[in-house]
Structure 1
Amino acid sequence: MAGLSDDLSAYVAEALYDDLPPATVTAAKQVLLDGLGVMLGASGMAPEVLPFVKLAAGDGPCTILGNGLRASAPMAALANGAMAHALDYEDAFDLAPIHPNASLLPALIALAQAEGGVDGRRFLTALAVGCDIGCRLALALRQRMEVGGWYPPPILAGMGAVAGAAHLLGLNAGQVRDAFSLMLCQNVMPGEIKHSQGTVIRAVREAFPAQAAVLSALLVRGGVAGFEQPIEGRHGFYALYAGGAFDESVLREGLGRRFWIEALTFKRWPSCRGTHGAVEMALAMGVKAQDIAQVEVGVDAIQTMLCDPLPRKRAPQTAIDAKFSIPFTLALALVRGRVGLDDFDAASLADPAVLDMAGRITPVLDKAAAWQGAGGWLRVTLRDGQVLEAAQADALGCPARPLGAQALRAKFADCAARAALPPADAPALAAAILSLEQCGDVGALF
């Protein structure tokens, strides 16, 4: 009898473009536009990616985005994967602990270029299926992966990335199962990534699963066999990462009919999604920084990681730590009236006005919170004693409050203009991506 791994693998192998709902196709094109822009921006703005670019550069059929350099498919996936999260500006899935496309997109772009002749319909199907697998694996968790000391986002995204890579290469169901197996042999990310103050691994983390996904799919096509039950096996994915606690029905419900890529959030601000509620409320208040005496910000259990330890989060030492800080991003919004790509450089991290404001911000754990990391409340006490309050259940960019097509195009143009080697015609590139189903060779487009 076919098991869970067999059924998921068959779904990945047999998915057809003609079976994708129109909303799924639209969402996939938006994911590509947004993710490509973020990677291009990181190529010119994130020094953390440079070691990956230098290591990857060489001969090969693939492009290291924004640099004009070439590489093999695994090495291009490594370099572009490092860029995918470096600005912390890529899409998110608010319902579970995953950024499903940060390693998937670099893997698919590399393989599309290496293979040649991959049309837009094939690419979009691989993207929709890979994203869906990653989201389903995340939603099915019934024990937090952090319990075992893991850091879930890149691990979960890596499983979706290998699913998308396997589909793009045309692997059959048995080979897809093997690809899951080989991914499982490489796919790790320790929770220590959250606690070490000086590291930038959190910024470039998606490099590793992106490369592993490409390697896994290519090795399977070359004849390497995997396990019979990489997902549900006694020492498979859920046993390793969640103590065996998962809900199989979540993985199966609506499989092939409902695609979770339609439920993503596109970020308005380049920082952790958990900071966005506070940022949005602060910007809407429009209060002058010099009038503020103190600030309290309500956080839920998920957002505590963005506030702890408080002294470090009030004065982060690296850009990525600043982006994972509610006190710092909130201080930026209150002092500068914005939180943008240019607000996390060395000068911003040392800005006395921002640091002073961050020192006056106190997080308050709200045990009754129901906003799941994407909202919060704000209480601002002014020097004259007046108290301003606001609450936000779900920050801008979520499916219920989308950015909209015009804002996504503007975000792409802003990011692309910051590439080490900006595209010659960013509007034309955006238009091509948003009509990708008509493209005969996606690899050539990049």
Structure 2
Amino acid sequence: MELPVSEHALSDNRYTRGIADFVSGLRYEAIPPEVTARIKLLMLDSLGCAIYGADLEWSRILQTTLTGLDTTQSCSVWGTGLKLSAPHAALVNGTQVQGFELDDVHRQGVLHVGAVVLPALIAIAEMRPGMSGREFLTAAVAGYEIGPRVGICMGPEHIAQGWHSGATLGVFSAAAGAARGLGLDAARTVHALGIAGTQAAGLMAAQYGAMVKRMHAGRSSQSGLYGALFAERGFTGIVNVLESEYGGFCTTFSRSTDRFKLDELTAGLGSVWQTMGVALKFYSCVGSNHSTLDAIRAMQAGRPFGEADVDRIVVHGSQVTMDHVGWKYEPQGLTSAQLNLPYCVATWLLDGDCFVDQFTEDKVADPERMRVAGKVQVRHDAGITARGSKFRHMVRVEVFLKDGTRLERTVEAGRGNERNFASESDIVEKFDKLALHVLERGQVERIRDWVLGIDTKADAAELARLLAKKRDGN
């Protein structure tokens, strides 16, 4: 059936159509080996985050609420023995991936990519058995390529003005991956993007203590899944969802006609792989804080010091860093603690780490952490801001010790960044450490081996089965 589209919209949708052509036409053989190798590691990292996230309070609330409403039981909730309908499973699983500030980030595109792509795509694989591992990888790459490009188009101002990018940009990654997973042609992929794009929503005020911040990625994944499934049946969306001068994504979310770059939406498709721009985290806090923690860690390696030695610390960063994480810390819950830079610096100085065990409810209002956080100032550096979105995590950190010593270190991006990606052994170690909180070692090893060998697998539905917690512990 031909899908009805106005001639006006078609004349103005070359970017949306260009994305759809790429997504629907992508073939495994066209993806460079380094990209397929990288996405396996990225997927493993996201799944480890999700499995750990299964036992978090906000995840359990969603699990309990939705199992009370939804008796479909077609798709697994990872790290549990529960099953839900595909859209609800995508919602919960996306929430679990993003549940504790551990998951990936495309720094320039300002997007946690795995949290929006994988829940929708794995739900499709589980609903429609028979998708090969290579087809799954191809669909995943399609998703990982698109959302970051929308983020680059919009620029860092998108998040600076209050939109939570995972909840807005993420719908395009989710829809692209789901559309390719379903094998939609270009015309229906355009509609999948248009259906997903109109569902984009999410406010950055959620970072100040609200559980709902954890849910934004899950909603994006769910929206992308809806977009692809509805488009498959002939439901139509906004075919120029990105370009429309009135009510289009770019004009509406930028509140302008020119504070975005449409060319970035399709720039380098098929030759420049944004999947390679996704970085990983080794601290359990927002990515904007990692470069500062790495700077302090490096300074301590050269000149050991602890909290008692520090008079004050001044962090110079971009405007986005200052707005996003540089606010004065007040105890408002775990979310705000993980997003606040002074609190995370205090945690590092007191504990020598900033991973999952450092973020518990009893520490959020710890007077000692709050006292040390008061030593940290975050200042805007116009020179860093002027370098653009690729350098939004760059910081220059000054440490003033009580004995008069002044230390300084500039760090462009945190460990595991796209220019200095983590080793496979580091990623496997992180996956094991997280997943073993929830699953038995044998199951953890089977998931790990399956993902790293996915291109040899006959049916991606097997991955969903492996991610389900066995009730007998096997």
**Contact kept? 2:171, 2:197, Cα under 8 Å:** no
Matched position secondary structure for 1:205: helix
Equivalent in the alignment of 2:456: 438
Letter in 2 for 1:301: Q
**Contact kept? 1:129, 1:259, Cα under 8 Å:** no
**Contact kept? 1:72, 1:114, Cα under 8 Å:** no
Letter in 2 for 1:213: G
Alpha-carbon displacement from aligned partner over 1:21-48 (angstroms, at most 9, x marks no partner): 101111211111010000001112x211
Residues 66-77 of structure 1 mapped to structure 2, 5 A cutoff? 66-77=79-90
Residues 316-335 of structure 1 mapped to structure 2, 5 A cutoff? 316-335=331-350
Equivalent in the alignment of 2:61: 51
**Contact kept? 1:119, 1:441, Cα under 8 Å:** yes
Structure 1 position 423, deviation (Å): 6.2
Change (3 A) 1:292 1:62: same
Q: Runs of at least 4 residues of structure 1 off by over 3 A?
A: 146-149, 306-309, 421-424
Equivalent in the alignment of 2:353: 338
Give the TM-score normalised by the residue count of structure 1: 0.93
List gaps (5 residues or longer) in structure 1.
none
Matched, 1:426 2:438: no
Equivalent in the alignment of 2:3: none
Structure 1 position 261, deviation (Å): 0.2
Alpha-carbon displacement from aligned partner over 1:213-259 (angstroms, at most 9, x marks no partner): 11121112222122332221233222222234332332232212322
Alpha-carbon displacement from aligned partner over 1:76-116 (angstroms, at most 9, x marks no partner): 00110111211111111111222222211111111111111
Structure 1 position 392, deviation (Å): 1.5
CA distance in 1 between counterparts of 2:366 and 2:243 reads 50
Matched, 1:113 2:126: yes
Equivalent in the alignment of 1:92: 105
Corresponding residue to 1:206 among 217, 232, 236: 217
CA distance in 2 between counterparts of 1:291 and 1:138 reads 41
Structure 1 position 18, deviation (Å): 0.9
CA distance in 1 between counterparts of 2:381 and 2:142 reads 36
Moved more, 254-263 or 346-355: 346-355
Corresponding residue to 2:234 among 213, 223, 226: 223
Alpha-carbon displacement from aligned partner over 1:337-369 (angstroms, at most 9, x marks no partner): 111111110122233332221111122222222
Moved more, 410-419 or 213-222: 213-222
Moved more, 219-228 or 126-135: 219-228
CA distance in 1 between counterparts of 2:160 and 2:404 reads 43
List gaps (5 residues or longer) in structure 2.
1-10, 465-474
Corresponding residue to 1:401 among 408, 414, 420: 420
Residues 192-341 of structure 1 mapped to structure 2, 5 A cutoff? 192-194=205-207, 197-234=208-245, 235-242=247-254, 243-245=256-258, 246-284=260-298, 285=300, 286-310=304-328, 313=329, 315-341=330-356
**Contact kept? 2:209, 2:334, Cα under 8 Å:** no
Change (3 A) 1:351 1:14: same
Change (3 A) 1:149 1:272: closer
How many pairs were matched up?
Answer: 439
Superposition RMSD in Å: 2.0
Residues 368-379 of structure 1 mapped to structure 2, 5 A cutoff? 368-369=383-384, 370=387, 372-379=391-398
**Contact kept? 1:101, 1:161, Cα under 8 Å:** no
Give the TM-score normalised by the residue count of structure 2: 0.88
CA distance in 2 between counterparts of 1:108 and 1:150 reads 25
CA distance in 1 between counterparts of 2:427 and 2:130 reads 28
Moved more, 226-235 or 82-91: 226-235
**Contact kept? 1:117, 1:443, Cα under 8 Å:** yes
Change (3 A) 1:423 1:83: farther
Change (3 A) 1:62 1:143: closer
Residues 24-173 of structure 1 mapped to structure 2, 5 A cutoff? 24-44=35-55, 46-57=56-67, 58-141=71-154, 144-146=157-159, 149-173=162-186
Alpha-carbon displacement from aligned partner over 1:384-427 (angstroms, at most 9, x marks no partner): 222222222222111222221100000000110122x4564312
**Contact kept? 1:302, 1:372, Cα under 8 Å:** no
Equivalent in the alignment of 2:434: 415
Corresponding residue to 1:365 among 354, 358, 380: 380
Corresponding residue to 2:400 among 381, 396, 402: 381
Matched position secondary structure for 1:78: helix
CA distance in 2 between counterparts of 1:230 and 1:274 reads 30
**Contact kept? 1:101, 1:157, Cα under 8 Å:** no
Letter in 1 for 2:249: F
Moved more, 182-191 or 369-378: 369-378
Matched position secondary structure for 1:39: helix
**Contact kept? 2:53, 2:99, Cα under 8 Å:** yes
CA distance in 1 between counterparts of 2:14 and 2:187 reads 12
CA distance in 2 between counterparts of 1:424 and 1:59 reads 29
Residues 11-26 of structure 1 mapped to structure 2, 5 A cutoff? 11-26=22-37
